[in-house]
Amino acid sequence: MFRVHTLDGQTQEIERLDMTKANNARQRGTHGVSLLSVLALLSLAVPSYGQWPQFGGPGRNFHAATTGLSTDWPEAGPAKLWMRKLGDGYSGVVVADGTIYTMYRKGDRESVIAMDAGSGETTWELVYAANLSSKMDKSFGSGPRSTPAIAGDRLFTVGIMGMLNCIDRASGKVVWSHDLMKEYQATQLYWGYSSSPLVHENLVIVPVGSTGRGIVAFNQSDGSVVWKTGSDPNAYSSPTLLTIDGATQIVSVHARGLTGLNPADGKVLWRFKHKTDYDVNAAIPVVYDGNSLFYASAYGTGSRALKIDTSGQRVKATQLWKQRKMNLHFGSAIELDGHVYGSSGDNGPVFFACVNLTDGSIVFKDRNIGKSQLLLADGKLIMLDEDGNLAIATATPEGVTVHAKAKILERVAWTSPTLVDKTLYVRDKKVIMALTLP
């Protein structure tokens, strides 16, 4: 049995008919073995559980702590732990205490779902109506696009129409909620709300994008407003906590630029303009050298590096360089040894690129790698391209070497993978899958 909750407080117990383990066993060639034997064997494959509490992982930088990864994969790719159908959406997977959480959509209803990390079986679901605005473009899917965030026993989610929920992780019941569109006049974006919530100390921080409420910090316990700041229109990017010159800042990318904030009170520390043709800023910044930021977007603007100087009475952001050749559509960029790696391009041709952070020069372009979401683990890149090809590679300024590659997903795979220990969670628009990396 698992629990389905609705925002009006109703709960329904549903009997589970889950053949995931048996189907996986058949795929592994275990015909003729008793189901009990299969389940016993599969129980040995259940991984130990670490944490992936938010968009981009523990450091929100798409770095995983996993070590000991092999580049020698079976021809079919890493072993499949489980796979199941899921509805529409690009929401990422977060993990804590043996449970994974993500979001999806079916019809006119949005779901937050908790699943057992080892089997994919549903623990609970929160289902609520999320009628899409007539102003929203649905050609790239109807969401949700935001990734949940975990803080202690709470889960924070934001739906494609701006419904912010604080959920009890154990029961799936809503503790408090805010409709960011109705209550706070959040920016109505062309492709819907996409920013992933940021948790810090007792706060959950979300971009809103209305006058006097560019970003709002809510108290995690009761949903009260702790601070609100700015009037910058919201974008598709997510705020991130960065350590700059030893101090923590919130760096937020809005529709027309970047802003550094004091997490305690939301005070604006610095601002820098970064405007694209359609006000589409979707990636998040990368910090390097202790006090410098790399940021890139698509739609005509390209990338730039900023130095954040905190030595004076006022914090200053100074441009180090700017170039138009590296364009991040919405994917992650990975910093490694003074260089940034990522997929450059938007709706046209895409290439995999390496940028020298010293001067912004393009070190190499590789047109054999499609638009990919990236993770860095054990000094290697885990790459999932939009066509569902998973690869493990080594990237250096001399080029990228793909060690192994396998087709694992069939539909548009724009969701960033999640890696906990050696278990990789991936999804496309219709299915979610757990793989065991060798």
Q: What pLDDT, in 10s, does the model give residues 157-197? A: 999 999 999 999 999 999 999 999 999 999 989 999 999 99
Mean pLDDT value of segment 293-302: 94
Average per-residue pLDDT in the chain? 90
Global pTM? 0.90
pLDDT of residue 31: 40
- Return phi, psi of residue 184, to 5°: -125, 10
Which residue in 169, 137, 131 sits closest to 150, CA to CA?
Answer: 169
- In terms of Cα–Cα distance, which of 276, 278, 309, 281 is closest to 293? 309
Question: What's the distance, CA 300 to chain centroid?
Answer: 24
How far apart, in whole angstroms, are the C-alpha atoms of residue 241 and residue 151?
15
* Side chain identity, residue 35: L
pLDDT score, position 19:
36
Name the class of domain 2-436.
Answer: mainly beta
120 contacts 86 by C-beta, under 8 angstroms: no
Q: Which two tokens stand for residue 191?
A: 């492709």
Residue 279 has pLDDT above 80, yes or no: yes
pLDDT-derived band of residue 10, with 50, 70 and 90 as boundaries?
A: low
Contacts of 227 (CB under 8 A, 6+ apart): 216, 217, 265, 266
| Residue 352 scores a pLDDT above 70 | yes
With a cut of 60, say whether residue 29 has pLDDT above it: no
d(CA 416, CA 404): 19
Average pLDDT estimate for 65-78: 96
State the pLDDT at residue 411: 84
Structural domain boundaries in the chain:
2-436
pLDDT at residue 185, rounded to an integer: 96
Residue 54: its pLDDT value, please? 98
Residue 40, pLDDT score:
35
Task: Say which residues have a Cβ less than 8 Å from residue 336's Cβ, sequence separation at least 6.
Answer: 376, 395
The pLDDT, as a whole number, for residue 138 is 83
Query: What pLDDT is recorded for position 2?
Result: 63
The DSSP output letter for 75 is T
What pLDDT sits at residue 237? 96
The highest-confidence range among 12-16, 209-213, 346-350, by mean pLDDT, is 209-213
Compute the average pLDDT of residues 337-358.
94
8 Å CB contact between 207 and 252: yes
Q: Is 282 helix (H, G, I), strand (E, B) or coil?
A: coil
pLDDT band at 332 (very low <50, low <70, confident <90, very high): confident
Q: Is the pLDDT of residue 257 over 50?
A: yes
Give the span between the Cα atoms of 283 and 248, in whole angstroms. 20
CA distances in angstroms from 28 to 33, 56, 81, 426, 435, listed in the order given: 11, 32, 10, 20, 13
Write the pLDDT tens digit of every residue in 396-437.
Answer: 999 999 999 999 999 899 999 999 999 999 999 889 999 999
% of the chain at pLDDT higher than 90: 81
Edge-first strand order for the sheet with 286-288 is: 286-288, 292-297, 302-309, 316-323
Mean pLDDT confidence for 203-225: 98
pLDDT value for 109: 95
* pLDDT at residue 41 in the model: 32
CB 390 within 8 A of CB 77: yes
140-158 confidence digits (pLDDT tens): 888 899 999 999 999 999 9
Contacts of 221 (CB under 8 A, 6+ apart): 202
Between CA 153 and CA 57 the distance in angstroms is 18
Bridging pattern class, strands 339-344 and 351-356 = antiparallel
Rounded to the nearest 10 degrees, what angle do helices 35-43 and 20-27 cross at?
A: 90
The residue count of the chain comes to 438
